[in-house]
Amino acid sequence: MLARIEERTGMKNLRDHIVEELILDPSDWRGGLDVFMGATFNLAHTLDQMLYLRPHNRMRGFDNLYLVGGGTHPGSGLPTIYESGRIAAHLLFDRYGVAYERADHATALL
């Protein structure tokens, strides 16, 4: 990878500037980072376990159990993980009557 970057960019001496290098693999995810069985997407990344079909942020059958992260609705990937946190926070705010400003980042239509 470093050879490719040096070859295709202006960073011809990239290796000389690397101070620290960290390589992670699934065994690191499982053992050191507590990711279940080393699965970066938690659940299977199949159509029947994506988006709305993932476990929802308020766990059914429990009064005070909220889920956040790539294994929950809306899904994996940083934008959706952040959205998962926002959804869970709003559910908690609504449940306990905490005032908050809703963020709407969509561009207004004419």
- For the segment 67-94, the average pLDDT, to the nearest whole number, is 85
Q: Which residue has the higher pLDDT, 69 or 103?
A: 69
Q: In the prediction, which pLDDT does 109 show?
A: 60
For residues 30 and 63, give the distance between their C-alpha atoms in angstroms, rounded to a whole number. Answer: 30
pLDDT for 45-76, tens place per residue? Answer: 778 877 788 888 898 888 888 888 878 888 77
Q: Which residue has the higher pLDDT, 40 or 18?
A: 18
CB 72 within 8 A of CB 53: no
Q: In the prediction, which pLDDT does 38 show?
A: 64
Q: In the prediction, which pLDDT does 110 show?
A: 55
